[in-house]
Amino acid sequence: MDENELYKYLGYEQTYVLEEKVVKSRIKERMQERMRQILKSSLSAINKTKAINTYAIPVAVYTFGTIKWTQTELEALDRQTRTLFTKYRTHHPKSSVVRFHLPRSQGGRGVLKLVTMHERQTRNLHKYFHGRAETSRLHNAIISVDNNLTPTRLNLPLADQQTRHQIYRQEIEQWLAKPLHGKTIHTDRHIPNNRPDIVFTNRQTRQTYLIDITIPLPENIEKKYREKISKYLPLAEDVKAMWRQEEVNIIPIVIGATGEIPVTLKPALVALEIKGNAYITMQKAVLIDTCSLTRAFLNQVQ
């Protein structure tokens, strides 16, 4: 062999040391090639996800714990996965990133997230070595010399290692109660009024709130409130049936152009769990915009 010639050991190209750049480059190419093969196929959506999780993702997971992957590199690989899904028309480019990696049982697509898999793999290796170190001199010696030599950082206690478990759980909780702003709700039948300002869905309690905001003249406050209720009643019925919700509430947020509020505003804010004097802030915002519009009009007249 030449001095710079590579050879393969346990699946990794190396010379005197492990050639991480070469390994990473080939891992990326191999993983993307396998994903393309799967996404080109005629498999159903669920079977494509299973195939990617068992045939493509493990190509990178095999290196976790031995090859040093940075957070940026792992996030880039996850991004390339979503890009390939979009390229082969199996994922909308503006779909939720969190939902893409959530398990199918929780309403997601179920594609494994490499950032999470890397954390899980390194922690499992860390637990294994520390568990064996109690009875094995070899494992104890490896732990003592691993001063940031491997991604597992065996010389550190497990509690000192950073974990993304709590962050991932927080992402799930945020997605479970995710507000949708100005998006069209597609129903089985034609409903003309299917685009409320905000749709807030709590998937744990199966409650949905259709929120629509309007700022009418003071004398039209009650009229606008009744219009909003009757306007979204058909949509609320369809949403309850299609999304299997326990309750769908229509909440009009009506504030007069000069700051007047109806008696229904405070109970609506309480239903949305908006505490404090939020309605005062809303009144101030409306008054500031009214003054701004009036000032702009007067300047044009002059």
- pLDDT tens track for 194-241: 889 888 888 778 889 999 999 999 899 999 999 999 999 999 999 898
Q: Classify residue 181 by burial, with Cβ atoms within 10 Å: 0-12, 13-18, 19+.
A: exposed
Q: What percent of the chain has pLDDT over 70?
A: 80
How far apart, in whole angstroms, are the C-alpha atoms of residue 293 and residue 288? 9
Phi-psi region of 224 (alpha: psi -120 to 50; beta: other; left: phi over 0): alpha
Determine contact, residues 265/255, Cβ cutoff 8 Å. yes
Phi-psi region of 23 (alpha: psi -120 to 50; beta: other; left: phi over 0): alpha
How far apart, in whole angstroms, are the C-alpha atoms of residue 281 and residue 211? 18
Q: Which residue has the higher pLDDT, 169 or 151?
A: 151
Terminal Cα-to-Cα distance of the chain (whole angstroms) = 88
pLDDT of residue 125: 78
pLDDT in tens, 81-91: 999 999 998 88
pTM exceeds 0.85 = no
Give the range among 134-143, 148-157, 273-282 with minimum mean pLDDT. 148-157
74 has a pLDDT exceeding 50: yes
- Residue 56 — very low, low, confident or very high, per pLDDT cuts 50/70/90? very high
pLDDT of residue 243: 84
pLDDT of residue 62: 84
* Mean pLDDT rounded to a whole number for the chain: 81
pLDDT of residue 161: 46
121 has a pLDDT exceeding 60: yes
